[in-house]
Structure 1
């Protein structure tokens, strides 16, 4: 179960999720505050590069697994051509295009004079569409009807937007004045409420389809891992509520400073990355087909 190919595939898939989350999180952050800074731009580009490298390595790992001949098989020209014509090739194409476009956009954007919020989102739209579409290329719902794929797209976008926006939020808080922090958290909570609602609806729909409607209720490993993921998502929701209703109030009362809020939100960030890693494992180590 935990052989070289599956573990490495899980880690590289996680790396590609991190890159996609950087794009979605950046777009979400643009809604909160369209002013860019070097502290936000550089990490976004770096994580996007990590995403491109990860999806590239992931593709060649699939080639090697298909060849079943060890490391030497990852560069088998004939098998590479075959996999490029499959969903694995589509996944590679759409994700590289989406991440590459994003890197190009940020590279050409002047930090001192960023585009307006609406213009940023409009320019980033091709990148976002390419990346969300990549989730329909392979996996559990690749062969399902369009409406189930729509649930997956919404689920992927919302989850990765949430995970990807936590890092920029921490940077905003570190740079913001004390009297601005509660306003930033208010904006974030409004967007977060919408994202969580969409996440729950799409997630429940996918669980019903993959486990109940498809008769996979005996996929014990998958169910246990999924339960752990849901537990961690609940923890993230608890963090979000704690920040909004407790820490922000204490900040207004001068009982804590913004560094305390930043440290707490960083804990939410660690949980978010653990959720991404478990998601990568769900689709690799204990996929529904297992």
Structure 2
């Protein structure tokens, strides 16, 4: 990046699991983490959003740490920059705020150090940092991501043609993923695993075929995590009742929670959000759309930098 030039990096939020797709399904949503990047003599972060004010404003900032780790991985060193950071993504609410930061850090290093990483390289590195591909994959690639992480790497496919709306119900309280994972069982029986996998298979087949009513039904039959997390997200049961009574197709925890994701018929998201706002208290209700692009980088003149190839 040349002196006097500004880059803008935007990364969408994400919801994960969508019920039975535990640690393997993610969906990009149109809330964004935004970085304005300029050269500087030292690392500096200027937070513009209230939720970002508690994070370090120097090189200890997580985005910068990821960028420095990424550069080091490829035997490079990131030049210091000033980052002006804003975000629509609530922190610790199950909407992929940490995954967006990881993707932003990787994109920052890729640009500053001219690494020219492919999307697949970015996906595999982001997954190594995060531990699973769902949130980071959706934020990186956009759309609905179905991914698998094995010793051989990360295999992922994205879908971009879902004809549905989404509504999120965001509680005021935070819930750290670590705490939410502590309530999960260490193992399932063979019979339970087969049953849980079958539900996930039907869920994906329903989305691909456009049978969104069936997809919504499968969202609520998850056996991997939602039965256990209900005890620490008491809002889930209340949202399920109100949402399903007002035309929602399905309801699921967003990631580890506490945000709750509602599936709505195409064009009915705003209507459902209005009804939910009237029927729920102490929660922020937001109608959203699927982001189709994923992370993107612009020059100061807003012309998009040529995207890399998978």
Higher strand share: 2
The TM-score with structure 1 as length reference comes to: 0.28
Higher helix share: 1
The TM-score with structure 2 as length reference comes to: 0.27
